[in-house]
Amino acid sequence: MPIATPQQYRDMLDAAQSGHYAYPAINVTSMTTANAALKGFADKKSDGIIQVSTGGAAFASGLAVNDQPLGAISIAEHLHRVADRYDVLIALHTDHCQPKVVDSFMVPLIEESERRFAAGEPTLFNSHMLDASNLPLEENLDLSVPLYERLAKLGMMLEIEAGIVGGEEDGAAGSEDTPAEKLYTTPEDMVEVYRRMNPIDGTYMFAATFGNVHGSYKPGAVKLRPEILKQGQDAIKAEFGADARFHLVFHGGSGSEKSQIKETLQYGVVKMNVDTDTQYAFTRPIVDHVLRNYDEVLKVEGEVGNKKKYDPRSYLKLAEAAMAARVGEACDDLEATGKSLLAAAVAV
């Protein structure tokens, strides 16, 4: 059953924390991109996280419907069925839900999981992200804690963010003119997050910010300060004891130096969002196909074209394969390759 159970998901995060690796969290918007993510993880024998944003969910429901919960449910149900054919564990997650759409996006999905849980079925998703980072920290946590309590009753997780990821991408809270000081979560804020969240009997993830920025950048353009993460982990250990730790999430990694990505793994990053790079990987072969076969893709000057070249399957297969390869590259970068807990259990 490759959609992870609550215990398997916790085991995934614990294994990544202790083993100093992380899971790529791949944003998908369709069955094709979801299939690409599955293939990428399976090819690398890596467990992984597949996630849907509010914008991606709306797209998945179709232009005429534009229903975020419906699109998210559709992708999740597809993954529940298809992931069963693969030999790695997959956790399902929703990405960047801002406070203004909690009631219209996240709550309907939680209600669907509650319905399934009451019927003895697996929850629809494994975890959700609340991105209330634009709010003052107290208000952020006042919203986060009740949602976390509700999810914990189902064995589900919540991801929260404090500090703002710069740039802007598909509903993310940042903007191009985010003040520089807001790009770094302080140790004091991390202590307060732990104080408010840790008493709840469950598991959560924390996206602390350390200069990360959403979007596409040349290597070296994003100026990260990974030491911010270590300072935060040290602060909570000093305040709450040696066993205190965060399961940290890395947003906005496009353009980051691979050495800095690997450094974050030493400080407790167990999940890294990957979207911009997989979007490009998916699109590149489509463009190449069209440019190479222009006269056959189009019915130019009264000709009939070539159905084998303009059939969407001809280029979407190429796109799926290219995106899967980029997912595999992310598994390598985050040192998750070959570490599937499911594959290890089968081998034993």
- The residues that are catalytic are 95
Residue 174 buriedness (CB in 10 A; 0-12 / 13-18 / 19+): buried
Are 229 and 268 contacting, i.e. CB atoms less than 8 angstroms apart?
yes
Q: How far is CA 325 from CA 2, 56, 66, 251, 255, in A?
A: 20, 21, 30, 21, 18
Q: What is the distance of C-alpha 4 from the center of its chain? A: 15
249: helix, coil or strand?
strand
The span from the CA of 88 to the CA of 86, in Å, is 6
The span from the CA of 20 to the CA of 299, in Å, is 53
Are 200 and 248 contacting, i.e. CB atoms less than 8 angstroms apart?
no
Q: How far is CA 199 from CA 145, 148, 235, 269, 344, in A?
A: 10, 11, 17, 21, 32
The span from the CA of 277 to the CA of 279, in Å, is 5
- The tokens describing 177, both together, are 């003119």
Q: Which residues contact 22 (CB under 8 A, 6 or more apart)?
A: 16, 250, 264, 265, 269, 270, 271, 272, 334, 335, 336
For residue 106, what is the DSSP state?
Answer: I
